[in-house]
Structure 1
């Protein structure tokens, strides 16, 4: 824990934006250095121009690869492109448009020449592909749309990010990202990227194939389809929204005005250094709306009985994550909030949803969700980490809600149709206000009731050091390599290397007992593996589970 965690950033914590942008254009990555190649994680390619990991060459090569990939897939409709408020996002977007315009791809850019949240891009793709039409969502045939979102999400200000969303509107799957990354790295090799056809940006933005699209107007107008805004208005719910300097900053004001909500944007500042942020747990500036340290100012605002709002909310830089603060419970743990909203949505708030619509959760999310699922009589589908696993179910309505422990989720419209297939932090924030207005209780109060009925969950996530070889072994682990028969005094009931919901490899290990579990996964960016653990016994038992988890993994790796 950093000694200044939770305190406002100081000048020495801030990036030099001019230096960062200069390196974006001037630094040429070494394609033989694994740290400088294009690598797609669960949410696209991320890196910093300071590290030669996110530079003009990367974006030229990756965009050219996307042009080739979409052509090979027969995707010939418009490509929607949006970007967030990170310093590198603007230049990277301009670079991408230069390549797309030269390739005569039909590009849709924000009509306001402003920031665009990830969910607004996902929604635009789906609407273009028929999601809002009487005929319904189209997934094949000519004219299908896709998109690019230029964002590193909640990452520090020095970082950039670039992700591709195919016609289903959600994060691209591993087959797509592997092909795109491999092709991009081929173009980086031998400086072939320098020969990719481009049009200078000032000309490219005026090209006939580059047209404006009002992402914000379309998204805001459609919100009554997914949120019961009448409940918020009629309940007199007062909302304080903090975009944390991200892409949602203008959206919240538009939502308040168009839908006549008692909603105040408590922090309208946008600053590429994020000088107004409080430092996260490790002393870094990180726009993590689920972190009590990054959300320190909003938590302070809501402290005490005289808090000016009933619900306060936060979003990360591209607004695909949510943070919820209540007057009675403070900043909600993401797992607690997911359990509360699932109880609300499937407990009668969405009567038009399919009667067999499932609850989607990642395997590192709280088992309280499983207990809530049993309570409301719905099947819980447990999938590997990554929102892409929820895409098929959200598309066809067979999954009503999909959520991750990292504060990312989306759900169906009130009629039971697809809303977005990427995470939507805006609707999760508005849902907290809907719950408060419709039930007269806050989400934290709903969670407290679930705990009283279903049991108290003790949950943690931590990192353990690991070499690259150990991480590779962990990713390829088989259940038979786990020799342990008990965990923290309880009999082991399952040893999982595949997700029970869809049979997909989890890239690690999950071990369960009657009242506890742990999961271990290698980090894709650091020499650590992540341990997630939960106990329904006690905080002390959780500590025993943590220690046992380290031992089980060590023995398996040694074997």
Structure 2
């Protein structure tokens, strides 16, 4: 029997189908979500191309309608298209996707009306409690009987594409050759719709929707999944390469030399564009983005605001500060004018606009935004996360010129370097990100911290 305890994560619902997540459990989630939302008029539902997604989305809709609530079914969609539907229709939403996870996974990303995030503190904890109560027979028999809601099917792809094109003007850019690796994910549906009519020569890769991911995992944060795109950029002489994850809410950039571009550099690039449009605005960055990001925001008259990792934290801080934009090291990019939601394609359009508005290649354009040497994220399996973190903290706490904070994991800063060490929420892993003024210093720092984490260096 599927188990709610295993599938409710910090920001979404995710698990192996059908072992952890099956149609019966998803129907119960749909019923309970109506109660969490205080019975809205309707819930908008979208799904990705995974084999199990149609069955799970249908079960959720059945649960929602059984409680007298209507469903607006937008069918196959990217996660940011679901956010568009939620904002455009002012309805709560449910997106059926497991993002970049392997083919046997399924999941649900939930939002309130206007694409407002749903995390543990904003609905997921209560949703899990209601589902568990229902499965234990503590509710249901005495619930009021209500007329069933109805399901309305709507195609919002063209409206979504038009909305994105209306947020970034590419009409005057030079013609660009753009190689795109959709990873057999939802970008295969959304990219052609959004790029239609733009001065772009599209070189598509793996645009066939296939939830078995026959070519590679749809997870561009892993370098192995970028190799095919890098080869294509070289082969066709593309101006830029774009790689999307399975539900297309993340976008990774490859330059004309087939080199991977740091999401921090893209965060800084888009921040500069948004600050030119709205001088003095706040821009959010998580604490793992490059030190260059807040520096560049300051240099362009903006107000950098540091936040912990995670979309619910970023979106809440954007709402509190009125920030125009936010970026994360994981290639999630958030836009105030897109209901503060993240959109890989909107970030791609900003990058294409910046590239096409001038004559330099992308590598030259990004030089000013890429100032430091970074390790990337390195994972280490540990038996005791807390004890390991304490050992690392003790090793650095008394060093001259070093500051330590614990906003999100352990961040240790020096004038010439910094690192962050964070525990995973779902597995016995610590994640290290390190940055320094030069490559040699970064490598020494990286190896020293990894030695402490993995027990090969004494504190």
Q: TM-score over 0.5 for the alignment?
A: yes
For residue 138 of structure 1, what is the aligned residue in structure 2?
none
Does 2:8 correspond to 1:39? yes
Aligned length: 456
Per-residue CA deviations over 1:296-321 (Å, capped at 9, x if unaligned) read: 211111116x51x3222121111100
Structure 2 distance, partners of 1:194, 1:301, is 59
Structure 1 distance, partners of 2:391, 2:448, is 18
Per-residue CA deviations over 1:386-408 (Å, capped at 9, x if unaligned) read: 01223245458821211111111
Does 2:227 correspond to 1:227? no
For residue 25 of structure 1, what is the aligned residue in structure 2?
none
For residue 383 of structure 1, what is the aligned residue in structure 2?
307
Question: 1:328 offset after TM fit, Å?
Answer: 3.0
Equivalent residue runs for 1:284-433 within 5 Å: 286-303=217-234, 306-307=236-237, 309-346=238-275, 348=276, 351=277, 353=278, 355-392=279-316, 394-395=318-319, 398-412=322-336, 418-433=337-352
2:410 to 506, 509, 512: 509
For residue 238 of structure 1, what is the aligned residue in structure 2?
177
Q: Is the 8 A contact 1:57 1:188 kept in 2?
A: no
1:471 to 378, 385, 389: 385
Does 2:35 correspond to 1:94? no
Q: Is the 8 A contact 2:185 2:211 kept in 1?
A: no
Structure 2 distance, partners of 1:473, 1:61, is 39
TM-score of the two chains, using structure 1 as the length reference: 0.74
Question: 1:534 offset after TM fit, Å?
Answer: 1.3
Structure 1 distance, partners of 2:142, 2:425, is 31
Question: 1:117 offset after TM fit, Å?
Answer: 0.9
For residue 462 of structure 1, what is the aligned residue in structure 2?
378
For residue 125 of structure 2, what is the aligned residue in structure 1?
178
SS at structure 1 position matched to 2:290: coil
Structure 2 distance, partners of 1:78, 1:64, is 12
Structure 1 residues without counterparts, runs of 5 or longer: 1-27, 130-144, 278-285, 413-417, 499-505
SS at structure 1 position matched to 2:176: coil
Question: 1:553 offset after TM fit, Å?
Answer: 6.8
Does 2:435 correspond to 1:534? yes
Per-residue CA deviations over 1:188-236 (Å, capped at 9, x if unaligned) read: 446989999999xxxx9xx76211222212111212331112134xx11
Structure 2 residues without counterparts, runs of 5 or longer: none
SS at structure 1 position matched to 2:284: strand
Does 2:444 correspond to 1:544? yes
**Residue 173 and residue 208 in structure 1: after superposition, are their counterparts in 2 closer, same or farther (change >3 A)?**
closer
SS at structure 2 position matched to 1:229: coil
Runs of 4+ in 1 over 6 A off after TM superposition: 190-199, 551-555
Q: Is the 8 A contact 1:168 1:421 kept in 2?
A: no
Q: Is the 8 A contact 1:255 1:261 kept in 2?
A: no
TM-score of the two chains, using structure 2 as the length reference: 0.89
Per-residue CA deviations over 1:126-167 (Å, capped at 9, x if unaligned) read: 2223xxxxxxxxxxxxxxx21111111111111111121112
Q: Is the 8 A contact 2:375 2:442 kept in 1?
A: yes
Q: Is the 8 A contact 2:33 2:64 kept in 1?
A: no
